[in-house]
């Protein structure tokens, strides 16, 4: 009886490991920040990918935003020591990802940009990825210099200010970019109605495949 119970425990543990979500969703799949830089026509006047700033991913790679060109991006600005809404924003984005039609899931990526240039090092961002269980294949986490963060925040319409405790008061906005880095939709607030955002992602994704 004891041997039988031990076998059942081991079988349950193996099943849990095999079915647990992996940070590396597909064997050999490259994360968005490590794909080949697309070589196409110049960016449009409305593209945030025109920015010349360089960003560092949680994998330690320095990249321009243009590396993300070619896929729909769902974007939010957060910081890892946030005590209030940032985890909720990430959770909202995860729900958006799960709600996408299966035919679009491999065509849509998710981008988190940190407000905290000082404390959110690549190592800290990577720990946050693991804590939030964000798959490498479709999620990018970036940090940048203070001026670069302010520039991208202005383009995304995100207001923020650091308080005396090192916390950031900030807008809660999820932005949808089309494959050219143009803003096509914004979801305001946390726990907002997701359907309009999902529909915007679908339109941008379908347009990208034409």
Which residues lie across from 60 on neighbouring strands?
none
Token readout for 16 is: 């849990």
**pLDDT confidence bin for 81, thresholds 50/70/90:** very high
Distance CA 206, CA 167 (A): 39
Q: Does the predicted TM-score (pTM) go above 0.85?
A: no
Answer yes or no: is pLDDT of 31 > 90: no
**pLDDT confidence bin for 32, thresholds 50/70/90:** confident
Q: What is the pLDDT of residue 210?
A: 60
Neighbours of 143 (CB within 10 A): 25
Q: What is the pLDDT of residue 151?
A: 97
Which residues lie across from 142 on neighbouring strands?
57, 113
For the segment 61-88, the average pLDDT, to the nearest whole number, is 95
Distance CA 143, CA 113 (A): 6
Strands 54-57 and 62-64: antiparallel
The mean pLDDT value of the chain amounts to 86
Q: What is the pLDDT of residue 113?
A: 98
**pLDDT confidence bin for 130, thresholds 50/70/90:** very high
For the segment 166-195, the average pLDDT, to the nearest whole number, is 96
Instruction: Judge: domain 24-209, CATH 3.40.30.10.
Output: yes
For the segment 127-152, the average pLDDT, to the nearest whole number, is 97
For the segment 109-126, the average pLDDT, to the nearest whole number, is 97
Convert 11-45 to b/e letters by CB count within 10 Å (16 or more is b): eeeeeeeeeeeeeeeeeeeebbbebeeeeeeebee
160 dihedral zone (left: phi>0; alpha: psi -120 to 50; beta): beta
**pLDDT confidence bin for 12, thresholds 50/70/90:** very low
3-class secondary-structure state, position 165: coil
**pLDDT confidence bin for 92, thresholds 50/70/90:** very high
Answer yes or no: is pLDDT of 7 > 90: no
Residue-level length of the chain = 210
Q: Which residues contact residue 185 at a Cβ distance below 8 angstroms, ignoring those fewer than 6 apart? A: 175, 176, 196, 197, 200, 201, 204
Q: What residue segments make up the domains of the chain, in order of their start?
A: 24-209
Q: What is the pLDDT of residue 38?
A: 62
The angle subtended at Cα 3 by Cα 1 and Cα 12, nearest 5°, is 105
- Among the ranges given (1-15, 17-31, 49-63, 194-208), the one the predictor scored with the smallest mean pLDDT: 1-15
For the segment 96-115, the average pLDDT, to the nearest whole number, is 94
**pLDDT confidence bin for 29, thresholds 50/70/90:** low
Q: Give the CA radius of gyration of the chain.
A: 19
Neighbours of 8 (CB within 10 A): 10
Phi/psi at 206 (nearest 5 deg)? -65, -40
């Amino acid at each position: 009886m004891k041997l039988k119970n031990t076998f059942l425990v081991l079988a349950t543990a193996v099943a849990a490991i095999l079915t647990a979500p992996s940070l590396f969703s597909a064997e050999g799949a490259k994360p968005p920040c490590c794909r080949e830089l697309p070589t196409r026509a110049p960016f449009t006047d409305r593209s945030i990918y025109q920015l010349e700033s360089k960003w560092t991913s949680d994998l330690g790679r320095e990249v321009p935003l243009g590396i993300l060109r070619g896929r729909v991006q769902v974007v939010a600005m957060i910081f890892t020591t946030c005590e209030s809404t940032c985890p909720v924003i990430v959770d909202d984005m995860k729900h958006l990802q799960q709600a996408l039609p299966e035919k679009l899931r491999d065509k849509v990526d998710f981008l988190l940009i940190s407000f905290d240039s000082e404390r959110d090092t690549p190592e800290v961002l990577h720990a946050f990825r693991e804590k939030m269980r964000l798959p490498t294949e479709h999620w990018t986490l970036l940090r940048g210099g203070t001026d670069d963060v302010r520039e991208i925040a202005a383009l995304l319409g995100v207001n923020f200010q650091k308080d005396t405790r090192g916390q950031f008061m900030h807008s809660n906005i999820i932005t949808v970019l089309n494959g050219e880095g143009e803003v096509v939709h914004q979801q305001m607030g946390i726990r907002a109605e997701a359907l309009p955002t999902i529909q915007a992602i679908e339109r941008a994704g379908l347009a990208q495949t034409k």
